[in-house]
Structure 1
């Protein structure tokens, strides 16, 4: 009996389940069964065709209904009732992949199709369970990434729109938390866009790969049964047709190196998002942004006035949770005792968890960004009162003019701990041994126009 969201142990299935409903198609127990069934069926179709073309006497006259077979693992056909049948078989034999094989053979027997009856024992022929798992899981992961890319694109599009809108809005930078050379709000937002898109390009270059080669990776059983067939060539094509790249040298299990690389990539992007969440949180603290007020909402159970930046905090927490699991998976999965141990099997069942936390974070982050209310006057006031940031520009121009020790001269004025006014700065400029044109050039500098230049955003 299915549990309600209120009874779920994990917040991924409970509190936040509505945000990641789509992921159930890829990472639930039922989804894993369906992907395993898909691999078993596609292998059966490819194997029968291959052996038939090779002249195998049992299969030479067999004609299988490919459309019927592929419909067995379709989303519309493989429902909860079918998944329960597999689960019941697993309870008896205590093996989840063998249960898929028996389930498929039962269907073949029930159809009373002579073609399927002749080919019955070519279901799971020569395979170990990891030939199925190590294709099913990376394929599910690959296809689930459509959801990730769709959501990260929504976030990037929003950040790009914000960057364009605020690109000409000068803003005080803070390095080490202290007033520093001015920047623009739009430019600072676009830094995150640039970083994420750079990592996405790297992520796109990593192959989605899987293991397929029998009990220890070199088709021993296949070769014993059919000595003169090119099983390496067959496997390469089969795995490619499924939608993956075959790992050529393996033990019983996948090397998991490419999967780990994908997870590392997602972890790096999440780290960039954590950086963005914390900065937006800080900008709200600095009152560069307010937040849209929803009258029905409560910010604090004790303090009625509060409007907390909860979306950025929730996003950050979910990103940190995702990265903790990504990091663990990356360090664990590529390691196995000798030709295999079973630790990867139970660990891989959690693959959807960090992806879910990531999707939750992205959606909540977007929600937080849409609540922001720009406080332009506060941003400009903070910038313009910090005229000391012009000291960098002044000493650089004076170096250009050949003045001796300009850094030390401006340091004496600006590094006192007191607020420096524009009048004090102009008074300092008047004492300099430079031409009037240079003095005018220095006086024309303001925190708002000392911005520099940027590359094109496009």
Structure 2
């Protein structure tokens, strides 16, 4: 019986496959095989035994069912894998399985393989999303819209600015994942307290060789575990990425509100239903799901940080929470990345509403420009600010346009002609360096991926 929404509702096949129990078992078997290979190369175990261990280190021979059966007796996951692998090996090869290792050597090294695969899936999708957003930035670098601060109309901006801003942030998230991968995805074969004592003088060489076989950099130093500041960094990077996706989806939700409706997610009226009782509804359900699931991802930062503080060389308090949060946060982050890609690919624009909202305040949004132009013409900045503020308050109170109120000022003609006032009122020509900044982002993005 399915219980968790990840089982039937959330997640992508590619990320679920990484964290599937069968794949996790396979990765642990691969670490056991790498250990045997390294030990044989260093003459610690017979070459034939290593060859046999490696040939049987597969879920084709070591089944999940058999491991679970043994674990019900031993109450120990890694000991169960070791026994299940040993019993399928011919001759006495099984006697050499897991020689010199501790359980967490297998867990942390195999987990590094899973996390590396997860990060690469996430990076591919972050890149894909960034490219979609960059394309939108290029297409809309001159699409003028109203900028809002504190939820209020502020100054003109462009949709290109919005999209370029998001693309730049997505690039930083990509870089964070790349940096995290180098610290987090490491090999470890250092024994019970990190000293490699059970492997004798060759212990460090075994550690290096196992990591090499697995294609991972060896951890520089450990105790019984790879230190959990690395895992906390991963969870915080996922939370940070989720916050970016949350930001993007929240903006789209706001801009899809009935009163604004400048853009929104696509809706198929032939098939899609917005409400079970209100036939007219077209809700931003994709964006809302992104925002909602992001909250769960961000919530894992607290246990991740707590897992860094363990008793002495290690206790078990980290492992139980990690069994939940590492797969869940990876799967859910990948899921909302997928949703955001679909959202941005099918984004719908309403140009008439963009223009209507731009002019909604009767020119009040051009008050800053009036102040700046009056100052350039010789009026003191403070005097100009006071005069324009007075005009803006009057326009807001009476419902007049800012232009009309300004033109009624006795001394305005000393500084501005009616033609200049008219030009100042055009929001499409008050964009500063916005187009250049978007083009700079587009140019820089050629080096990103």
TM-score by structure 2 length?
0.87
**Structure 1 or 2: more helix by fraction:** 2
- Indicate how the Cα distance of structure 1 residues 357 and 420 shifts in structure 2: closer, same or farther if over 3 A, else same: farther
- Indicate how the Cα distance of structure 1 residues 430 and 191 shifts in structure 2: closer, same or farther if over 3 A, else same: farther
Pairing 1:23–2:15 present: yes
What's the CA shift string for 1:337-379, capped at 9, x where partnerless? 2222112222221111111111221222333334432110110
- Indicate how the Cα distance of structure 1 residues 216 and 138 shifts in structure 2: closer, same or farther if over 3 A, else same: same
- Indicate how the Cα distance of structure 1 residues 436 and 447 shifts in structure 2: closer, same or farther if over 3 A, else same: closer
- Indicate how the Cα distance of structure 1 residues 80 and 71 shifts in structure 2: closer, same or farther if over 3 A, else same: closer
Task: Indicate which of 207, 210, 231 corresponds to 2:203.
Answer: 231
SS of 1:252's partner is coil
Residue in 2 that maps onto 1:375: 350
Unaligned runs of 5+ in 1: 1-6, 224-228
- Cα deviation for residue 121 of structure 1 reads 3.2
Pairing 1:450–2:433 present: no
Q: Distance in 2 between matches of 1:153 and 1:430?
A: 57
Q: Distance in 1 between matches of 2:210 and 2:421?
A: 70
Residue in 1 that maps onto 2:254: 282
Residue in 2 that maps onto 1:101: 82
- Check whether the contact 2:148–2:154 (CA below 8 A) recurs between aligned residues: yes
- Check whether the contact 2:144–2:157 (CA below 8 A) recurs between aligned residues: yes
Mapping for residues 158-197 of structure 1, pairs under 5 Å: 158-197=132-171
Residue in 1 that maps onto 2:318: 344
Equivalent pairs, count: 425
Task: Indicate which of 188, 198, 215 corresponds to 1:221.
Answer: 198
Residue in 2 that maps onto 1:253: 225
Residue in 2 that maps onto 1:384: 359
- Check whether the contact 2:136–2:163 (CA below 8 A) recurs between aligned residues: yes
- Cα deviation for residue 146 of structure 1 reads 2.4
- Indicate how the Cα distance of structure 1 residues 20 and 71 shifts in structure 2: closer, same or farther if over 3 A, else same: farther
- Indicate how the Cα distance of structure 1 residues 420 and 188 shifts in structure 2: closer, same or farther if over 3 A, else same: farther
Residue in 1 that maps onto 2:6: 12
Residue in 2 that maps onto 1:4: none
Unaligned runs of 5+ in 2: 444-449
TM-score by structure 1 length?
0.86
Pairing 1:411–2:389 present: yes
- Indicate how the Cα distance of structure 1 residues 407 and 241 shifts in structure 2: closer, same or farther if over 3 A, else same: farther
Task: Indicate the RMSD between aligned Cα atoms, in angstroms.
Answer: 2.4
- Indicate how the Cα distance of structure 1 residues 309 and 71 shifts in structure 2: closer, same or farther if over 3 A, else same: farther
- Check whether the contact 1:26–1:144 (CA below 8 A) recurs between aligned residues: yes
